[in-house]
Amino acid sequence: MTDLLATIYPWTKSLHVIAVITWMAGIFYLPRLYVYHAERGQAPGEPGDSFTVMEHKLLRYIMNPSMLAVWIFGLALVFTPGIVDWTMVWPWTKAAAVLAMTWYHHWLALRRKEFARGDNSRSGRTYRMMNEVPTLLLLVIVFSVIVKF
């Protein structure tokens, strides 16, 4: 199995990067939709109904599959011989940041359900501030992998 992982390493890494890009696109866009939904779409009807549909489709058809692919290809990279040296700090900081990003993804999913029920109690400002979280996590992930601190 490890021979296979080593053989397909360039493909695994490529698919992992593609999945990260699509996941991050959704992670950055969904809170922006929440800002608009919280500020302009709280009344029944339009534009709130359109926001609800967009949020649902973004999360279900782009973000969820992308997050799953990130985890699958990321774990395949972890198990590829010679890729990760667990005696260094960087894999641990990356792992912690990826777990935090996954938590954030699920936090966003819970907020989507609140909007769908008409139960949102958070302001657009809250979503603007929370939209900074993935940026900070992305910095930790990229610097961990590239600089290997």
Q: What is the mean pLDDT of residues 58-80?
A: 98
Token pair for 20: 């990260």
HSE at residue 109, side-chain half, CA atoms within 13 A, is 13
Q: What is the mean pLDDT of residues 25-48?
A: 89
Predicted local confidence at residue 41, as pLDDT: 76
In this predicted structure, the answer to whether residue 44 has a pLDDT above a threshold of 80 is no
Predicted local confidence at residue 47, as pLDDT: 85
pTM given for the model: 0.92
Q: What is the mean pLDDT of residues 113-117?
A: 94
Predicted local confidence at residue 149, as pLDDT: 78
Banded model confidence at residue 119, pLDDT cuts 50, 70, 90? very high
Q: What is the mean pLDDT of residues 128-143?
A: 97
Sign of the CA dihedral 27, 32, 133, 114?
Answer: negative
* Helix segments in the chain, DSSP class H: 2-7, 9-40, 48-57, 64-78, 90-117, 124-130, 133-147
Contact 54, 33 (CB under 8 A): yes
In this predicted structure, the answer to whether residue 42 has a pLDDT above a threshold of 80 is no
Q: Look at the chain and report how many structural domains it folds into.
A: 1
Banded model confidence at residue 45, pLDDT cuts 50, 70, 90? confident
Q: What is the mean pLDDT of residues 91-109?
A: 98
- Give pLDDT tens digits for 75-97: 999 999 999 999 999 999 999 99
What residues make up the domain containing 110?
2-147
In this predicted structure, the answer to whether residue 73 has a pLDDT above a threshold of 80 is yes
